[in-house]
Amino acid sequence: MASKYPNPSAFHNIDKRLHSPDGFHKIVYYDLNEIAMCAPLGGICFLETKDKQKIKIHEWVGGPPIWEEQGFAFAIPIWTKDSLKGTVQKIGIVDTRIKDLKIYSRIFNVLDFISFEKNIITGINSPFYMPTSIEFDIDKEEIELILQLVK
């Protein structure tokens, strides 16, 4: 499963998956580094538009992200520290129309997204070690935090 490209340990700003379906937005990472030796990547992430706007998404983001089919939103793994589980990920949803980031409460080890159709995200949790399938309904999951994104 983890040998495909892109995956949480191997993705780059040149990947076509970072462009919105309509071509107006692009997700761009800076200072990507392994979160630990031989571990997935994390770094600062921005949303850039064709009209040269650059909007910071978050300080510590994994990848690769996945766009919903219309291109109005995308799911992105957000790295965080948990007092009991250590370094973990949560799902973040960026709405490109209202420019906000919703971070959901549910905790994952490492996310590898497969699809984002309507309100359902599918993917793999822990693609490198004991992978499990996930189905995440953004309308039914608990939102922990909503951040307004600014230029």
- Is residue 90 pLDDT above 70, yes or no? yes
pLDDT at residue number 2:
54
Predicted pLDDT of residue 3? 62
Domain ranges for the chain: 16-148
**Residue 84: how many CB atoms within 10 A of its CB?**
6
Homologous superfamily of domain range 16-148: YVTN repeat-like/Quinoprotein amine dehydrogenase (2.130.10.10)
pLDDT higher than threshold 90 for residue 128:
no
Pick 151 or 120 by higher pLDDT. Answer: 120
User: How high is the pLDDT of residue 59?
Assistant: 96
User: Given a cut of 90, is residue 108 above it in pLDDT?
Assistant: yes
pLDDT in tens, 16-61: 999 999 999 999 999 999 887 778 999 999 999 998 899 999 999 9
For the residues of 42-89, what is the DSSP string, one character each? EEEEEEEETTS-EEEEEEEE-S--EE-TTSSEEEEEEEEEETTTEEEE
**Closest CA relative to residue 29, chosen from 77, 67, 62:** 62
Nearest Cα residue to 80 out of 38, 47, 35, 124: 35
Residue 119: the pLDDT is 95
Interval 1-27 mean pLDDT: 87
Is the pLDDT score of 1 beyond 70? no
Distance between CA 62 and CA 83 in Å, rounded? Answer: 20
Radius of gyration of the chain (CA): 14
Measured CA to CA in angstroms, residue 144 lies from 7, 22, 79, 119, 126 at distances of 26, 29, 14, 17, 22
Q: What pLDDT is stored for residue 52 in this prediction? A: 86
- Stated pTM of the model: 0.94
Q: Once rounded to an integer, what is the mean pLDDT over residues 97-116? A: 96
Residue 78 binned pLDDT confidence (cut-offs 50, 70, 90) = very high
For the chain, percent of residues with pLDDT exceeding 70: 98
Paired residues of 31 in beta bridges: none
